[in-house]
Structure 1
Amino acid sequence: MSIEAQSQWRVVSVSVAGTSHEKRGKPCQDAHHWQILPEGILVAAVADGAGSANLGDVGAKIAVDVAVETISQQKLLPKDNIGWQFLLVDALRAAKNAVLSESQVREVEARELAATLILVVATPELAIAAQVGDGAAVVGDGEENIFPVTAPQTGEHINETTFLISEQGVETAQVKVWLGKPVHLAIFSDGLQMLALKMPMGLPHSPFFLPLFKFMTVVTDEEEATKQLEEFLRSPKVTGRTDDDLTLLLARYG
């Protein structure tokens, strides 16, 4: 939830419990984590614990922390997008193994920690994402053009998705590369996708993102920006259309 003033990336990110969870006294099962590395590299992740999983919030938190830290702790970072793609998949696998290990420690079925995971690396020259499940990541080029990096992974039925702990979760992950100069980045959990995307195509809905990207151009105070983003996620214009947990991570380069 902080902004690295000394770097060229500014990041504001918030997770809030959905109104349906608040009514039932359940915690927010979304999680997010990010790190800024040297040379203008941002590593960020968003996860959404399965509504049916009693420890979905735990699985989501482990997934984002391990995925981001796996990349952040690399002594030598890749020099091309092929290398990045392999590293992101390795990070997904590390996150999955960490969630499975936690289920063994707690002596519960792995499905009790089921969560989706979106992991993104953004550099001054490209954005690369690896995603298991729904939610999505989009980038903006600074000229009001918005591009999808990933799209929600859904099953045969609505609200059905793939989770990180699934047998083929990592193997069937989306791994996408966007070549260009990303000025804006947004990663969000599935609670926002009906507002943020034109479904079923999964294309970004510009009226949703443009005000948020404009907001990021004037961010100077970390606490105030986080508070405003949280107020937006709790506003009737959002909660009137979704009662799910909500996570939105916004970043601006430059």
Structure 2
Amino acid sequence: MATSSRPTPEASRKQTPQCWKTFAVSVEGTQHQRKGIPCQDACRASGVASGWLVAVAADGAGSAAFGGNGARVVCDYLYEFLTRLIARGVISADEVKQWPKLIPRVLLAARRRLEVEARKRGPPVSLADFDTTVVGALASPRGGILFHIGDGAGCAVMGSDWRGAIVSPPENGQYEDETYFLTMEAWERHLRITPFGPERDTLLLLTDGGTSFIMAAQLAGPEPRFIAPVHQVLRQEEGPEVERELAALFHRPDVARVSGDDITFVWAHRP
């Protein structure tokens, strides 16, 4: 998770067969840079065991007093909770079809963690002050799921078939700049769970700031002109300097002309 233009390495980069290699960065948008506002996105991602992956991205609402805190708390909580469940054998690779029943309970626990944060601060702070979207991925050797509330996007890709990706698209409200949050009363009605098979070897998670230029028209998978060269580099490179290069990429003037919002980019690939 990163809260400035300096991305924090959140990735496990194991190269043994069937282990996921990941890079995950959150960088503040140019609009926030100009105003001196910290990044309100957050992310966590790593291959946590042979063939297993946990990845989460969140976008704290700019209109919420503690939106960035909400995003960070949710990412940390979900990542650590799901990782523990895998380590204890509570989540089984043989029961992928049962995972959609588990995810709402895990998200409810994260929501209750935000309620604790609100109570710590006392009135007039409320849960709504921690409004945040969430898009995550849980994968095993037998397949996986994307889980998603709000805008941003998740993609599960096979090989380099970018336009054939399984996509969890953004969900906006009545107006384009409105979306849905885990912190809303009706959050379960807006929870979308998208399964994918074990042949999907690349996953992407994006917050709203990146969808406008990383996703192809009509959200038909990642835009090949952007993702293909980035994917090639990430497959070959190692080390924290790669995440610094990703941050620099998202701060380029041509990107800033398309999106001035915070950007989170989570990439995971199983060699």
TM-score (norm. length: structure 1)? 0.93
1:11 aligns with 2:22: yes
1:210 aligns with 2:219: no
Alignment correspondent of 1:242: 259
Contact 2:12 2:46 in 1 (8 A): no
1:28 aligns with 2:43: no
> How far off its partner does 1:217 sit?
1.6
* Secondary structure, aligned partner of 1:229: helix
Contact 2:23 2:45 in 1 (8 A): no
Q: Could you tell me how far apart the structure 1 residues matched to 2:133 and 2:37 are? A: 18
RMSD (Å), alpha carbons? 1.6
Q: Could you tell me how far apart the structure 2 residues matched to 1:207 and 1:87 are? A: 37
Q: Could you tell me how far apart the structure 2 residues matched to 1:253 and 1:36 are? A: 9
Alignment correspondent of 1:41: 52
Letter in 1 for 2:109: A
Deviations 1:162-194 (A, max 9, x none): 011000113420111012412211111000111
Runs (4+) off by over 6 Å: none
Structure 1 residue runs without a partner (length 5+) = none
* Secondary structure, aligned partner of 1:153: coil
Letter in 2 for 1:136: A
Alignment correspondent of 2:127: 110
1:224 aligns with 2:241: yes
Contact 1:138 1:186 in 2 (8 A): yes
The one of 105, 119, 137 equivalent to 1:90 is: 105
TM-score (norm. length: structure 2)? 0.87
> How far off its partner does 1:6 sit?
5.2
Alignment correspondent of 1:133: 150
Alignment correspondent of 1:166: 184
> How far off its partner does 1:114 sit?
0.5
Structure 2 residue runs without a partner (length 5+) = 1-8
| Paired residue total | 252
Is the deviation greater in 207-216 or in 227-236?
207-216
Letter in 1 for 2:168: T
Letter in 2 for 1:48: D
Deviations 1:101-153 (A, max 9, x none): 21111121211111101121123342301111110111221133441331101
Letter in 2 for 1:25: G
Query: Percent same amino acid among aligned pairs?
Result: 27
Q: Could you tell me how far apart the structure 1 residues matched to 2:98 and 2:48 are? A: 17
Alignment correspondent of 2:73: 62
Contact 1:184 1:213 in 2 (8 A): no
Letter in 1 for 2:48: L
Q: Could you tell me how far apart the structure 2 residues matched to 1:67 and 1:133 are? A: 16
| Larger relative helix fraction | 2
> How far off its partner does 1:195 sit?
0.8
1:73 aligns with 2:75: no
Contact 2:22 2:47 in 1 (8 A): no
Contact 2:147 2:192 in 1 (8 A): yes
Contact 1:21 1:244 in 2 (8 A): yes
* Secondary structure, aligned partner of 1:225: helix
* Secondary structure, aligned partner of 1:98: helix
Q: Could you tell me how far apart the structure 2 residues matched to 1:238 and 1:184 are? A: 23
Q: Could you tell me how far apart the structure 2 residues matched to 1:241 and 1:177 are? A: 31
Alignment correspondent of 1:194: 212
